[in-house]
Structure 1
């Protein structure tokens, strides 16, 4: 069976799988994303505030969907892995995901 986190339904949020045991990983990821897509870059699309366009860039770097195998009724993630719903704006709103499970139950 496969769990498909098919889509996070917003253009400045993303999904990824990463190290989930050490909270410093989240801080380092945020630091590097802010370097890759800083708020002070010369963006043209600025209608929704200074964190909106960097949020679109950050979301595109990760993507909006994941495929995760299910084995023996559990997500088949690695020992240290976790699923991140990445909010790429400073003050994002509520977020929704479409989830699909494909496979055959025994």
Structure 2
């Protein structure tokens, strides 16, 4: 059994989904591990990770719009408003999605479906530098 780890830095411009499939795939192919399990972990509480369709950009826009409707940015609804009106809604959106993903690796590549991509989902209004831990265990 071998393992390989690294950290991916993702620059965001505000709310939305940022595809990270390419750098994640480069991490896997560069590891020399052919079969195993890849774990991705978002090191933040106001951003998350999702696997979603990567063919039609309307999917990403619709998801972002849905979450904006689902979790309002009204500061009157929350006690935690220290970091601004988008902070607590971002934490709620993060709780509704995921901070980690597990993806099988076969033949030296992440096993994803034809239309699947890996995304960091930014929930805050202003730009951030997000960190995603990558860990691959296998042979």
Normalising by structure 2, report the TM-score. Answer: 0.72
Q: For residues 21 and 87 of structure 1, what CA distance do their matches in structure 2 show?
A: 19
Any unmatched runs of 5+ in structure 2? 1-35
Q: Name whichever structure is richer in helix by fraction.
A: 2
> CA 1:59–1:46 in 2, change beyond 3 Å: closer, same or farther?
same
| Higher percent of residues as strand | 2
RMSD: 1.0
> TM-score, structure 1 length as denominator?
0.93
**Pair 1:78-2:113 in alignment:** yes
* 2-structure distance, mates of 1:20, 1:47: 35
Alpha-carbon distance, 1:92 to partner: 3.8
Count the aligned residue pairs. Answer: 103
Shift of 1:97: 1.1
Give unpaired runs (5+ residues) of structure 1.
none
- Map 1:1-106 → 2, pairs under 5 A: 1-5=36-40, 7-40=41-74, 42-104=77-139
Range with bigger deviation, 88-97 or 22-31: 88-97
